Structure 1
Amino acid sequence: MDIKVNFSGRAIRYTEEEIAVVVDVMRNADTLTQGVHMRDFESKFAAYQGVAPGSCFVTMNGVSALELSAQLCRFKPGDEVVMPSHTFTASAYPYIKKGATMVWADVDLLTRVVTAETIEKAITPRTRAVVVVHLYGYVADMTAIAALCKERGLILIEDAAQAIGSVVDGKKAGSFGDMSIFSFHSHKNLTTLGEGGMLYVRDPKLAALVPTLRHNGHCGFDYERPDYWKPAMGNVDLPMLDGEPMQPNNYCLGEVECALGAKLLERIDSINDEKRARALRFIDALADFPELEFHRVDSPRHNYHLLAARMTTGVEARDRFIRTMFNEKGVKCVVQYIPLDRYDYYRRLGMGTANCPNADTFFDSMISFPFQHWLTEEEFDYMLTSTREVLASLR
Structure 2
Amino acid sequence: METKINFSGRSIRYTEEEIAVVVEAMRCADPLTQGRHMREFERCFAHYQNVAEGSCFTVMNGCSALEISAQLCRFRPGDELVIPAHTFTASAYPYVKRGVRLVWADVDRRTRVVTAESIEAALTPNTKAVVVVHLYGYIADMPEIAALCRERGLILIEDAAQAVGAEVAGKKSGSFGDMGIFSFHSHKNLTTLGEGGMLYVRDPALAAVVPALRHNGHCDYAFERPDYWKPAMGNVDIPTLDGEALMPNNYCLGEVECALGAKLLERIDQINDEKRVRALYFIDALAGFQELEFHRVDSRRHNYHLLAARMTTGPDMRDRFIRAMAFEKGVKCVVQYIPLNRYGFYRRLGYGEASCPCGDDFFDSMVSFPFQHWLSNEDLNYMLTATREVLCSLHGAEK
Deviation of residue 223 (structure 1)? 1.4
In structure 1, the residue matched to 2:93 is 93
In structure 2, the residue matched to 1:273 is 273
Q: Any residues of structure 2 matched to 1:132-171 within 5 Å, and which?
A: 132-171=132-171
In structure 1, the residue matched to 2:308 is 308
User: 1:28, 1:144 → 2: CA distance?
Assistant: 47
Q: Would you identify which runs of 4 or more consecutive aligned residues in structure 1 move more than 6 Å?
A: none
**Structure 1 portions without partners, runs of 5+:** none
User: 2:360, 2:239 → 1: CA distance?
Assistant: 42
User: 2:30, 2:215 → 1: CA distance?
Assistant: 18
**Aligned-partner residue type, residue 205 of structure 1:** A
User: 1:161, 1:256 → 2: CA distance?
Assistant: 21
> Is it true that 1:73 corresponds to 2:73 in the alignment?
yes
**Aligned-partner residue type, residue 316 of structure 1:** D
Deviation of residue 125 (structure 1)? 0.7
In structure 1, the residue matched to 2:377 is 377
User: 2:79, 2:300 → 1: CA distance?
Assistant: 35
Aligned length: 395
In structure 2, the residue matched to 1:49 is 49
**Structure 2 portions without partners, runs of 5+:** none
User: 2:128, 2:359 → 1: CA distance?
Assistant: 23
In structure 1, the residue matched to 2:389 is 389
In structure 2, the residue matched to 1:105 is 105
In structure 2, the residue matched to 1:22 is 22
User: 2:234, 2:187 → 1: CA distance?
Assistant: 37
> Is it true that 1:367 corresponds to 2:367 in the alignment?
yes
Percent of pairs with identical residues: 78
TM-score, normalised relative to structure 2: 0.99
| Deviation readout 1:243-271 (Å, 9 max, x if unpaired) | 11110000000000000000000000000
SS at match of 2:57: strand
User: 1:220, 1:168 → 2: CA distance?
Assistant: 40
User: 1:205, 1:259 → 2: CA distance?
Assistant: 28
User: 1:31, 1:225 → 2: CA distance?
Assistant: 23
User: 1:346, 1:78 → 2: CA distance?
Assistant: 18
| Deviation readout 1:10-33 (Å, 9 max, x if unpaired) | 000000000000000101111100
TM-score, normalised relative to structure 1: 1.00
- Aligned-residue CA RMSD (Å): 0.4
User: 2:286, 2:240 → 1: CA distance?
Assistant: 56
Q: Any residues of structure 2 matched to 1:1-395 within 5 Å, and which?
A: 1-395=1-395
**Aligned-partner residue type, residue 322 of structure 2:** I
SS at match of 1:118: helix
User: 2:31, 2:25 → 1: CA distance?
Assistant: 9
| Deviation readout 1:319-345 (Å, 9 max, x if unpaired) | 000000011000000000000000011
| Deviation readout 1:277-336 (Å, 9 max, x if unpaired) | 000000000000011000000000000000000000001110000000011000000000
User: 1:383, 1:33 → 2: CA distance?
Assistant: 42
SS at match of 1:108: coil
User: 2:326, 2:44 → 1: CA distance?
Assistant: 42
**Aligned-partner residue type, residue 148 of structure 1:** L
